[in-house]
């Protein structure tokens, strides 16, 4: 069982980009832990070294992990899957590891292979398209849902520490199983990313043929395509590890798109009005 209180702990944040950096800022601002270690690639560390947020910065994974009582793994999903087996053997006995990957099934499946370690799946439902520490904010995760998956009995030993940390930074913990998580985000997060990619791809083709299209870019187009700026590594992780649910949502969406096409083709003003009214009502209730 974890005996240390948060204010006695050393936290290592692996990946000091937008999410990891935001956690570091919030933890530092609220003086939550004893020590904050930041770990990332050398070129990233050099950019953040001037900040007075971290007690120490390193690009050496082993030294950063060995010292930690709490490890926050804030790197893309494919990187998590690659480095988790390197991290587990060098963790302190009783140390807690929480990841922030945007898909959970493959990560949690890997975590279950280490039933004697306190490994917890997480996904903060916050963030911006622009990556890097420069986009980090101490309030980025505040009042945002933070999904949590506890893969094993052992992982529950870290629950109190994780909940205490999330409470301190103002995030909202939400327990969910990995299957349901990946289904839900395939609609609310990953499908919008796919639609943004498809619209950007279509626009690229039209823009290359006729430059006039670029002069008429609307705020609607800019908003609908902003997700296509998502980091490639993040995008590859989404598409690669949640492909079955994403393809299911693409099929569902294609059906809806066909229905709307049919509605437009018929040109029945009353039917169009009823449809728009229904969607407007849904969206106003959602907001």
Domains of the chain (ranges plus CATH)? Answer: 6-176 (3.40.50.720), 181-286 (1.10.3660.10)
Whether the pLDDT of residue 2 is over 80: the answer is no
**What predicted TM-score, i.e. pTM, was given to this entire model?**
0.92
| pLDDT (0 to 100) of residue 50 | 63
Give the pLDDT confidence of 122-172 residue by residue, as tens digits: 999 987 767 777 777 888 999 999 999 999 999 999 999 999 999 999 999
As a whole number of angstroms, the distance between CA 162 and CA 183 comes to 24
Look-up: residue for tokens 């049919």?
A: 262
Give the pLDDT confidence of 198-255 residue by residue, as tens digits: 999 999 999 999 999 999 999 999 999 999 988 899 999 999 999 999 999 999 999 9
Tokens of 142: 């505040």
Give the pLDDT confidence of 42-65 residue by residue, as tens digits: 888 887 776 788 999 999 999 999
Give the pLDDT confidence of 85-98 residue by residue, as tens digits: 999 999 999 999 99
Neighbours of 117 (CB within 10 A): 23
Predicted confidence band at 1 (pLDDT cuts at 50, 70, 90)? very low
| pLDDT (0 to 100) of residue 82 | 97
| pLDDT (0 to 100) of residue 129 | 65
| pLDDT (0 to 100) of residue 243 | 98
Give the pLDDT confidence of 20-47 residue by residue, as tens digits: 999 999 999 999 999 999 999 988 888 7
């Amino acid at each position: 069982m974890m005996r240390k209180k948060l204010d006695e702990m050393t936290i290592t944040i692996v990946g000091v980009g937008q999410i990891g950096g935001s956690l570091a800022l919030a933890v530092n601002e609220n003086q939550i832990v004893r020590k904050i270690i930041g770990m990332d690639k050398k070129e990233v560390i050099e950019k953040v070294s001037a900040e007075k947020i971290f007690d120490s910065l390193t690009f050496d994974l082993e030294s950063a992990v060995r010292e930690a009582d709490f490890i926050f793994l804030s790197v893309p999903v494919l990187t998590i899957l690659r480095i988790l087996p390197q991290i587990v053997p060098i963790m302190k006995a009783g140390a807690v590891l929480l990841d922030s990957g945007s898909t959970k099934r493959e990560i949690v499946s890997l975590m279950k292979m280490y039933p004697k370690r306190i490994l917890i799946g997480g996904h903060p439902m916050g963030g911006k398209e622009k990556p890097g520490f420069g986009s980090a904010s101490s309030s980025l995760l505040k009042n945002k849902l933070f999904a949590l998956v506890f893969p094993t009995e052992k992982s529950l030993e870290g629950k109190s520490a994780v909940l205490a940390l999330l409470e301190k930074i103002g995030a909202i913990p939400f327990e969910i199983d990995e299957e349901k998580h990946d289904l839900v985000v395939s609609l609310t997060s990953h499908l919008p990313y796919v639609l943004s990619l498809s619209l950007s791809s279509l626009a690229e083709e039209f823009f290359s043929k006729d430059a006039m299209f670029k002069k008429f870019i609307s705020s609607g187009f800019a908003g609908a395509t902003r997700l296509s700026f998502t980091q490639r590594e993040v995008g590859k992780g989404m598409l690669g590890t949640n492909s079955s649910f994403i393809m299911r949502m693409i099929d569902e969406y294609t059906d809806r798109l066909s229905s709307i096409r049919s509605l437009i083709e018929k040109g029945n003003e009353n039917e169009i009005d009823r449809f728009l009214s229904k969607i407007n009502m849904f969206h106003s209730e959602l907001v």
